Amino acid sequence: MQRLHFYIDGAWVDPAVPARLGVVNPATEAVFAEISLGTAADLDRAVAAARRAFPAYAETSVAQRLEWLDRIIAGFRARLPELARTMTLEMGAPITFATERQATVALFHFEEARRVLQDYAFEERMGAGIVRREPIGVCGLITPWNWPLNQVASKVAPALATGCTVVLKPSEIAPLSALLFAEVVHAAGLPPGVFNLVNGDGPTVGEAIAAHPGIDMVSFTGSTAAGIRVAKLAADTVKRVAQELGGKSANIILEDADLRAAVIQGVHACNTNGGQNCQSPTRMLVPRGRREEAFAAAREAIGAIRLGDPLDHATTMGPLVSQAQSDRVQGFIQSGIEEGATLVAGGPGRPAELNQGFYVRPTVFGDVTPAMRIAREEIFGPVLAILPYDTDEEAIAIANDTPFGLAGFVQCRDRARGRAVANRIRAGRVYLNGAPFDRSLPFGGYKQSGNGREFGVFGFEEYLEVKAILGAEA
């Protein structure tokens, strides 16, 4: 499979300088596709196209933008099975998960952007003037490999809905689903230059997006270290920077919770998508006196996970995305052993029944202390740390003792008690008792987990400037 072109100014074009990169299937470790890697020259061309398109696109009517969104939604639905299978091949998500979550949640973002746009008041009377919200301009979007289409959609959908033009750089590790998505956008008939896609790596195309004077806003999802680099590069042009970065979310299981059910639910949440989630509840806080009960429930949950071929519908966990990611996670597992944590389930090495692929055994450590690496650093793999606590106050203190603040989780029977704990967790989103995903509520972090918000009206308004007009007629 060769996908060597970029999408610029409404057409598929050759890169300025030929340079190819193989895309590896993490389940087989074989290269199954090739893409081109872009340069600053390719980005310049895309930004120029987006700048030319912006003035006219910004003035399009809400009705016209709704029509284009409807076409994208229809095209996305029609190609959803193909999009899901492509993500399975490029990043290893089991096909059922890729279909029901990876692709479907990405579609949700376009449906949500459409919902917000339909009734959004771009102007409102305030005091003696009018407050007007206008599209910010050309948006550079840099997206990760772990949720390849979800993160693309969570940025592209509100950008297009608000009247912005876009230059997208998907992850070069899992780029193919974004290229298929570009075909959906092309078929929807947006004006040339409104949506552009350039593949490339972070140090070349990603950094060029952050620094480019022709880009008005950069939205980045990835590691905290890379986010810091993006922010520094963007500072010289004082562009808006929205970031969704790392996490080390705490899952506080209160004394009154159904402990077995809460632990099983928490283990599975930690292992969703192979643990490659920024908001995974990777620190489980359990009452000290219920240690053995928690360990037994964790082993039970791990025993229900089925590793294997991600194209097999019986598989519930596939491989990690790459050899580098697998090596990183194995290093954390080894550090947990060396620092004296109790190995409750899993452990180092590839599962014995699998002789190829970047597979990691889903692993649980107990008796973890807050100072251990596995309790402090984002692992981004199927590794859970269980930490003991004695009081609610101690649990909250442990939960907040982190540079991150993306999400938190609380399990309890007394909802008032759970809400009181949730209010004190320093994170952008808190889930009570396994509450389901809601695409309309804001998503984003405190502290080093980022700034800005995605999803719903909060994500929509990230792409708008605010203008006050004084002396205007009502």
Residue pLDDT, tens place only, 348-406: 999 988 999 999 999 999 999 999 999 999 999 999 999 999 999 999 999 999 999 99
pLDDT for the residue 474: 59
Note the pLDDT of residue 1: 87
67 is catalytic: no
% of the chain with per-residue pLDDT over 70: 100
The structure's pTM equals 0.96
Helix (H, G, I), strand (E, B) or coil at 421: helix
Instruction: Identify whether the C-beta of residue 363 lies closer than 8 Å to the C-beta of residue 384.
Output: yes
Task: Give 224-275 pLDDT, tens digit per residue.
Answer: 999 999 999 999 999 999 999 999 999 999 999 999 999 999 999 999 999 9
Task: Give the separation between CA 176 and CA 179, rounded to whole angstroms.
Answer: 5
Catalytic residue among 139, 164, 270, 278: 278
Task: Encode pLDDT of 134-168 as tens digits.
Answer: 999 999 999 999 999 999 999 999 999 999 999 99
| CA nearest to 344, candidates 367, 328, 370, 327 | 367
What tens digit of pLDDT does each residue of 91-149 get? Answer: 999 999 999 999 999 999 999 999 999 999 999 999 989 999 999 999 999 999 999 99
Kindly list the structural domains of the chain, giving each domain's residue range(s) and its CATH number in brackets, ordered by start.
2-245+448-470 (3.40.605.10), 250-439 (3.40.309.10)
Question: Average pLDDT for residues 427-446, to the nearest whole number?
Answer: 95
37, 200 Cβ separation under 8 angstroms: yes
**pLDDT of 473 above 80:** no
Confidence of residue 472 (pLDDT cuts 50, 70, 90): confident
In angstroms, the Cα distances linking 286 to 134, 411, 432 are 48, 10, 16
pLDDT at 352: 87
For the chain, what is the mean pLDDT?
Answer: 97
Query: Which pLDDT tens digit goes with each residue over 50-63?
Result: 999 999 999 999 99
Q: What is the band of 5 on the pLDDT scale with cuts at 50, 70, 90? A: very high
**Catalytic residue among 90, 244, 255, 454, which?**
244
- Beta 217-221 vs 283-287: how paired, if at all? unpaired
Q: Does 412 qualify as catalytic in the annotation?
A: no
- C-alpha 389 chain-centroid distance: 30
298 exposure class (CB count in 10 Å sphere: 0-12, 13-18, 19+): buried
Which band of pLDDT confidence, cut at 50, 70 and 90, is reported for residue 33?
A: very high
